[in-house]
Amino acid sequence: MAIKLHDYGLSGSCYKVRLLLDFLELDYEVEKIDFYPGRQHKSLDFLEINPLGQIPVLDDDGTRLRDAQAILCHIANKYDASGRWLPHDPARFGQVMMWLMFAGGELMAASAARLHDVMGYRLDIEAARRNAHAAFRILDDHLTEREIEGGQWIVGEEPTVADIACFPYTALAGDGGIGHEDYPALRNWMRAFRRLPRFQPMSGIAEFT
Amino acid sequence: MAVTTDQVVLNEWVACGWHGQVPMGQSYDTVIFGQEICVSRKGAEEYEVAVIEENGATGRTLPVQVRYTCIFTTLGNPTRPLPVIAEFDEDDRRIIGCGSVGVRTSPYRIIENFLDMAHFSFVHTNVLGAPDQTEVLAYKTEHRKDVDEIWALDCKFYQPAASTASAGGQMTDYVYRVMSPFSVMLYKNVFGDPARNDAICLFVQPMAETECLAYMPMALVDEISTPEGIIDFQQGIFLQDRIILENQRPTLLPLDPTIELPTRADASSIAFRRWLKAMNLQFGIYEKQAA
């Protein structure tokens, strides 16, 4: 059995996968991709690995997967015997899926703002920041409700893959010129997340917010 | 955005792109000192840089040089040439650029951060510094008047993982060299070969007073690491710095030594700020000095 992650250190999406692999104490091999400036993810060789030209990609014992959210579910489903990271009970499964889709969808506006500010991507930065703020408002409202219920995580009483999927681009928002000032529940949740055992930071994640 | 009137900085060569940023025959618009410019790639290693007038018309053509993986230009009449960095011409060197990274702060804050060793253990924990070995030992600084450069010599710092080639911790010897207000480099001893130094540069493209692009070309002695791994390492380090840099206030650099009190470890910063003050430059400076 060998797990290989096609990885780029500055990618928040790759970071999602690294976080879960570390939480589960799984050994894995890393194949670094020169995302920027090399655009290796758009090279012919890489398009054979993922025709969408996106990272991360996971190779796991003959199974090749793209999409960070799909990879999180695969790893949790296969390796987390406790079932804690991907709960299957009817009360939680659907909600975890819903927030996973949110992480891969609406929340990616924060990633776009970061690509613009850090790597000079030409895109509508005002729209990206506006959409990221709208997504943070929704997640902050949800986490405020959870706090009122006495909960700390996005779904249920324990962290799940939904928390892992939502964490990177929320925490990296500052890289794209988006502050956390208006989101107190997000800040509480990020603090709790950073305290999880075996949590590893990545470049750009503020330790002081 | 107004073009700066500070003739001191206008007379410097500054980076305005990295070689390979656009394919042959294509061009891109960027900004230096508030001036919009167009960079066109005319050949494999041939670029043309022209001013874009306020009405959008193409204005005068600017001098251009392609060196150290970067494209350099100037809006004025440079008093100093591009620095000579001999390591980039050595045959066995790995020459690697890292594109550019946007940073919202004064160009000199970026240069100063590059010169600073005191943050290694706290910002680059377990890589460029260890949490239990934080001391910056005394080092020397000098103003080399013949080339008008600031040097910091005899710098030493314990590093758990000094580079991608490192197999363990080492006491790293550093020499720092500030070649212009917008360019700095360091020499650090190669893991396992004390006779040779890696050369790592930082060139700043000042778009506006607190809006910059940073370029990090390297000439390394490393037969093992992949280019992807080297780029990943260097960008990872710089993005750790970037969040600190963007949160420093004021964003403009104060030259009055009573505004940000230096310690012994800041000797290179003291020399750098004194040098900037003597140049009487104003762009990106906190106090608007008397002209």
Provide the pLDDT for residue A1: 59
Token pair belonging to B207: 């778009």
From A36, A174, A203, residue closest to B236, measured CB to CB: A203
CB contact B131 to A (< 8 Å): no
From A119, A174, A202, residue closest to B99, measured CB to CB: A119
- Residue A38: list chain B partners with CB under 8 A: 227-228, 231
Query: Which residues of chain A from 37 to 66 reach within 8 Å of chain B, CB to CB?
Result: 37-38, 40
Q: Closest Cα of chain A to B231: distance in Å?
A: 7
Q: Residues of chain A with pLDDT > 90: what percent? A: 98
Q: Could you tell me which residues come within 8 angstroms of residue B29 by beta carbon, excluding any fewer than 6 positions away?
A: B36, B37, B38, B39, B52
Are the CB atoms for A198 and A23 separated by under 8 Å?
yes
The ipTM assigned to this model is: 0.94
Q: Closest Cα of chain A to B213: distance in Å?
A: 9
- Residue A177: list chain B partners with CB under 8 A: 104
Residue B291: pLDDT over 50: no
- Size of chain B in residues: 291
Token pair belonging to B19: 């070689």
Q: What is the pLDDT of residues B131-162, one digit of tens each?
A: 999 999 999 999 999 999 999 999 999 999 98
CB contact B227 to A (< 8 Å): yes
Answer yes or no: do B117 and B207 share one domain.
yes
Provide the pLDDT for residue B195: 86
Going by pLDDT thresholds of 50, 70 and 90, the confidence category of residue B126 is very high
* Residue from B19, B96, B228, B244 whose CB has the most chain A CBs within 10 Å, to mutate: B228
CA proximity to B214, closest of B15, B10, B8, B11: B15
Provide the pLDDT for residue A47: 98
At B91, is the secondary structure helix, strand, or coil?
coil
Q: Could you tell me which residues come within 8 angstroms of residue B285 by beta carbon, excluding any fewer than 6 positions away?
A: B106, B108, B252, B253, B254, B255, B276
Q: What is the pLDDT of residues B61-113, one digit of tens each?
A: 999 999 999 999 999 999 999 999 999 999 999 999 999 999 999 999 999 99
Answer yes or no: do B257 and B122 share one domain.
yes
Any domain includes B284 = no
Overall number of domains in chain B: 2
Q: Could you tell me which residues come within 8 angstroms of residue B237 by beta carbon, excluding any fewer than 6 positions away?
A: A203, B124, B127, B128
Provide the pLDDT for residue A95: 98
Any domain includes B285 = no
- Residue A36: list chain B partners with CB under 8 A: 99, 235
Answer yes or no: do B173 and B58 share one domain.
no
Query: Distance between CA B232 and CA A11 in Å, rounded?
Result: 10
Answer yes or no: do B29 and B145 share one domain.
no
| Bridge partners, B132 (sequence order) | none
From B20, B101, B227, residue closest to A34, measured CB to CB: B227
Any domain includes B47 = yes
Query: Distance between CA B207 and CA B211 in Å, rounded?
Result: 5
- Tell me phi and psi for residue A141, to 5 degrees: -60, -45
Query: Distance between CA A42 and CA B288 in Å, rounded?
Result: 47
Going by pLDDT thresholds of 50, 70 and 90, the confidence category of residue B172 is very high
DSSP E strand boundaries for chain A: 3-7, 29-32, 57-60, 63-66
Going by pLDDT thresholds of 50, 70 and 90, the confidence category of residue B288 is confident
- For the segment A105-110, the average pLDDT, to the nearest whole number, is 98
- Alpha-carbon dihedral sign for residues B112, B114, B118, B123: positive
CB contact B111 to A (< 8 Å): no
From A9, A33, A120, residue closest to B102, measured CB to CB: A120
Q: Closest Cα of chain B to A207: distance in Å?
A: 10
DSSP E strand boundaries for chain B: 14-18, 27-32, 35-41, 47-52, 58-62, 64-67, 70-73, 94-96, 100-103, 140-144, 149-159, 170-180, 183-190, 193-208, 211-215, 218-220
Answer yes or no: do B58 and B152 share one domain.
no
Give Cα B38 distance to the centre of its chain: 22
At A81, is the secondary structure helix, strand, or coil?
coil
- Alpha-carbon dihedral sign for residues A115, B246, B236, B40: positive
- For the segment A95-104, the average pLDDT, to the nearest whole number, is 98
Query: Distance between CA B105 and CA B250 in Å, rounded?
Result: 9
Any domain includes B289 = no
Answer yes or no: do B14 and B157 share one domain.
no
Answer yes or no: do B109 and B63 share one domain.
no
Q: Residue A115: how many CB atoms within 10 A of its CB?
A: 19
- For the segment A168-180, the average pLDDT, to the nearest whole number, is 97
Answer yes or no: do B178 and B270 share one domain.
yes
- Residue B104: list chain A partners with CB under 8 A: 117, 177
Domain span including residue B183: 90-279
CB contact A34 to B (< 8 Å): yes
Answer yes or no: do B32 and B153 share one domain.
no
- The CATH number given to whatever domain includes residue B216 is 3.90.380.10
Query: Distance between CA A67 and CA B15 in Å, rounded?
Result: 37
Question: What interhelical angle do A108-119 and A161-171 show, nearest 10?
Answer: 30
Any domain includes B125 = yes
Domains (range + CATH), chain A = 3-79 (3.40.30.10), 93-194 (1.20.1050.10)
Q: How many CB pairs (< 8 A) connect A and B?
A: 66
CB contact B239 to A (< 8 Å): yes
Answer yes or no: do B232 and B108 share one domain.
yes
Going by pLDDT thresholds of 50, 70 and 90, the confidence category of residue A201 is very high
Residue B198: pLDDT over 50: yes
Q: Residues of chain B with pLDDT > 70: what percent? A: 99
Indicate the residue among B26, B43, B73 that finishes a domain: B73
Residue A75: pLDDT over 70: yes
Which helix (H) or strand (E) element contains residue A164?
Answer: helix A161-171
Provide the pLDDT for residue A23: 98
Answer yes or no: do B124 and B68 share one domain.
no
- Residue A34: list chain B partners with CB under 8 A: 227-228, 231-232
* Residue from B26, B94, B243, B246 whose CB has the most chain A CBs within 10 Å, to mutate: B243
Provide the pLDDT for residue B1: 67
| pTM of the predicted protein model | 0.95
Any domain includes B108 = yes
Put the strands of the sheet holding B35-41 in their side by side order.
B27-32, B35-41, B47-52, B58-62
Answer yes or no: do B184 and B268 share one domain.
yes
- For the segment A145-157, the average pLDDT, to the nearest whole number, is 98
Any domain includes B142 = yes
Provide the pLDDT for residue B165: 87
Asked if A204 lies within 8 A of B21 by C-beta distance, the reply is no
Are the CB atoms for B232 and A32 separated by under 8 Å?
yes
Provide the pLDDT for residue B194: 79
Any domain includes B82 = no
Q: Closest Cα of chain B to A63: distance in Å?
A: 24
Distances (CA, A) of B140 to B137, B155, B186, B267: 10, 8, 14, 8
